[in-house]
Structure 1
Amino acid sequence: MAILTDLKARNIKPDSIALPHGGVTGLALHPSNKKGSGKWVLRFVSPDTGKRRNAGLGSYPEISIAEAAKTAMQMREKIEKGIDPLEEKIRSKAKLATPTFKAAAEALHTELLPGWKNEKHGQQWINTLTEYAFPLIGNLPLDKILPRHIADTLRPIWLEKAETASRLKQRLHAVMAWGWAHEYCQSNPVTVVNHLLPQQPGKSVRTKHHPAMPWKDIPAFIASHLNGAERYDVTRPMLEFLILTAARSGEVRGMKWSEVDWNNAIWTVPAERMKAKLIHRVPLSLRAIEILKKQQEIHEDLVFPSPRDQVELSDMAMTSFLRRVKAHSDTPGRVATAHGFRSSFRDWCSESGHSRDLAERSLAHQVENKVEAAYHRTDLLEQRRPLMQAWTDFLGRSESSSLI
């Protein structure tokens, strides 16, 4: 086939058929809507998919016959080597557009956020990266991040804040795995970073328990700090209710009237507000019922609302109170925490000879042994009722009350 000439190309008309180049297989000049102009197209079979593809090489006469032929020949050479030139071009553009670590982290955070039920966790996830990772590697493209960069990010907190470092490492791994999945990087540098850092202390060594008030001291604490206040303070009845029920802070702070069964003296915490995401029923002692009665008419929905805004109190409400009254704990130099009263209750159960099973169920702890858990089909609510009343009696809170 004769090679296409400029004379023939300059005379191509809008209604003409495509003019083959003649020297490069698949290369042809396709007419445009103006006489003497057209578009260069190389037709080839993709070595990746086996399908026919069209590659545009520019317009004529801007791209001459010789230039089009040269480009087409280079593409043909790649095709013979098993490379699809169009896919190569796409990958090349993608590589140029490789996001920075910060951009990738924000994109992943946006994708993951709808799946997190806890908004606080979602905020903590990105805050950890913002504080520790972005200042060092935030502006680095994903494909430029090496294991040493990850190690440098983790090293300042690796030993001193081991738990935080562990969470940070998990989030770094998630971002880099996202980049690998999108072909922005060829590997995940987080997988080998441990070889560049010293060994952390074991989890059992670094675990810090919540400072707890010794159970023998709680009755005096309640008498001194939770009763007899001159003016109403929602924190006092809320903290006493927490101690009486051995519940978690968030469960009590978010407690709603719809969860209270007055007739049967039961507080049912819905699954979405429980740590284990399972419904938990709490038998209410006479004193617990008395506290609830005094809280009525304050808010139509929340049992312990904030006085000013009438919304759920923050997790600092009881913490601030305990610090203010300097509630002592079993940890030298540290104030007792609201969560620590659960430990106090558990110690009282053990030292007072109460059933381990009932104590664990009162705390809504899950049975770790899978075989044992399979045979536990009841929460032993009625068996737990005397236990919670005995706890109330020990605390000196056995005033008589009548149920509604």
Structure 2
Amino acid sequence: SRLRNRIELVLDAAKARKLREGENPARWRGHLDKLLPKQGSRVKPFGSLSAEDTARLMHRLDSLEGAAARATELMILTATRNSETCGARWSELDLEQKLWTIPGERMKTGKAHRIPLTEAMIEVISQQKGQHPEWVFPNSRRTGCIPGNAIGRVLDTLKVHMAVPHGFRATFRTWAAETTTYPREVCEMALAHTLGSKVEAAYNRGDLLEKRRGLMQEWSGFLHEATPPRVYAAVS
């Protein structure tokens, strides 16, 4: 499907430049859709760990040094996306107010997202102080932030093969739904998801920051206290 789309674009561009004539043989609508099987879409969930295994992983991360390991810890604690964590800047953080504000241009939704910081999150962030004036998690050359695959490499180092960075958001969401009494909208806003209904979003314009603060505190407590730091069995 992607290849066909690229061919269609190339042939359309060629026709616009008068390099070819006639119909586009790679066009789908009204042409190939009458000749080829319907293209279905499958949604494959991201690989993830259980909440209990994630708590054990957090204990293992303590044994690793470096910006990527600390970024992995913060990503799990905050349930943020991989790129949002790797690209964190000191200017986005207000440690006194215990707040991390990610600007809209760095968010998938295009809207700024405020994250209440727990003591566990601040502890991870504080370990990065003095590493770089702009980036919280600088790369080895100190020329920018760590690359997008850095957290994935940390998981590989710990032989965690069943989970990908984005999967920890699903871990958090499942834990929140199964073990807490927080309303759906609080859990969804913690993930910076838009509300399901446009009408609902139009009337609910807040971000439920203080309620989310309690939720994130419970998540931090679970990750650091609920599961004993026993030996973690690598998942392969």
Instruction: Quote the RMSD (CA, aligned, Å).
Output: 1.9
Q: CA 1:397–1:236 in 2, change beyond 3 Å: closer, same or farther? A: farther
Shift of 1:220: 1.4
| Alignment partner of 1:377 is 2:200 | no
Asked if the contact 1:254–1:302 (Cα under 8 Å) also holds between the matched residues in 2, the reply is yes
Q: CA 1:175–1:369 in 2, change beyond 3 Å: closer, same or farther? A: farther
Structure 2 counterpart of 1:306, from 132, 135, 139: 139
| Alignment partner of 1:254 is 2:81 | no
| Alignment partner of 1:323 is 2:192 | no
Provide the rounded CA distance (Å) in 1 between the counterparts of 2:92 and 2:225: 23
Q: 3-state SS of the aligned residue for 1:277?
A: coil
| Alignment partner of 1:282 is 2:109 | no
CA offsets 1:215-260 (integer angstroms, 9 cap, x no match):
122111211x21134xx32222110100000000000101000000
Q: 3-state SS of the aligned residue for 1:295?
A: coil
Structure having the higher Rg = 1
Provide the rounded CA distance (Å) in 1 between the counterparts of 2:89 and 2:167: 23
Provide the rounded CA distance (Å) in 1 between the counterparts of 2:201 and 2:8: 33
Structure 1 counterpart of 2:3, from 154, 168, 171: 168
Asked if the contact 2:105–2:111 (Cα under 8 Å) also holds between the matched residues in 1, the reply is yes
CA offsets 1:102-122 (integer angstroms, 9 cap, x no match):
xxxxxxxxxxxxxxxxxxxxx
Give the counterpart letter for 1:173 in structure 2. Answer: E
Q: Specify the alignment match of 2:32 in structure 1.
A: 193
CA offsets 1:73-100 (integer angstroms, 9 cap, x no match):
xxxxxxxxxxxxxxxxxxxxxxxxxxxx
Provide the rounded CA distance (Å) in 1 between the counterparts of 2:5 and 2:185: 35
Structure 2 counterpart of 1:272, from 94, 105, 118: 105
Shift of 1:180: 4.1
Asked if the contact 1:322–1:335 (Cα under 8 Å) also holds between the matched residues in 2, the reply is no
Shift of 1:270: 0.8
Asked if the contact 1:169–1:190 (Cα under 8 Å) also holds between the matched residues in 2, the reply is yes
Provide the rounded CA distance (Å) in 1 between the counterparts of 2:204 and 2:45: 28
Provide the rounded CA distance (Å) in 2 between the counterparts of 1:267 and 1:238: 14
Shift of 1:397: 6.0
Shift of 1:304: 0.5
Give the structure, 1 or 2, with the largest relative contact order (CA under 8 Å, sep 6 or more).
2
Q: CA 1:367–1:171 in 2, change beyond 3 Å: closer, same or farther? A: farther
Asked if the contact 2:102–2:112 (Cα under 8 Å) also holds between the matched residues in 1, the reply is yes
Q: 3-state SS of the aligned residue for 2:13?
A: helix
Provide the rounded CA distance (Å) in 2 between the counterparts of 1:241 and 1:341: 11
Give the counterpart letter for 2:211 in structure 1. Answer: Q
Shift of 1:320: 1.5
CA offsets 1:178-200 (integer angstroms, 9 cap, x no match):
34444542322223123343333
Provide the rounded CA distance (Å) in 1 between the counterparts of 2:202 and 2:21: 45
Q: 3-state SS of the aligned residue for 1:385?
A: helix
Normalised by the length of structure 1, the TM-score is 0.52
Shift of 1:302: 0.2
Asked if the contact 1:270–1:280 (Cα under 8 Å) also holds between the matched residues in 2, the reply is yes
| Alignment partner of 1:365 is 2:193 | yes
In structure 1, stretches of 5+ residues that fail to align are 1-164, 328-333, 399-404
Alignment of 1:153-232 (within 5 A): 165=1, 167-183=2-18, 184-191=20-27, 192-200=31-39, 202-203=40-41, 206-223=42-59, 225-229=60-64, 232=65
Q: When you count strand as a share of all residues, which structure comes out higher?
A: 1
Q: Specify the alignment match of 2:169 in structure 1.
A: 342
Asked if the contact 1:349–1:356 (Cα under 8 Å) also holds between the matched residues in 2, the reply is no
Alignment of 1:143-158 (within 5 A): none
Q: Specify the alignment match of 1:263 in structure 2.
A: 96
Provide the rounded CA distance (Å) in 2 between the counterparts of 1:264 and 1:271: 20
Asked if the contact 1:234–1:306 (Cα under 8 Å) also holds between the matched residues in 2, the reply is yes
In structure 2, stretches of 5+ residues that fail to align are 227-236
Asked if the contact 1:235–1:317 (Cα under 8 Å) also holds between the matched residues in 2, the reply is yes
Provide the rounded CA distance (Å) in 1 between the counterparts of 2:206 and 2:21: 51
Shift of 1:168: 2.9
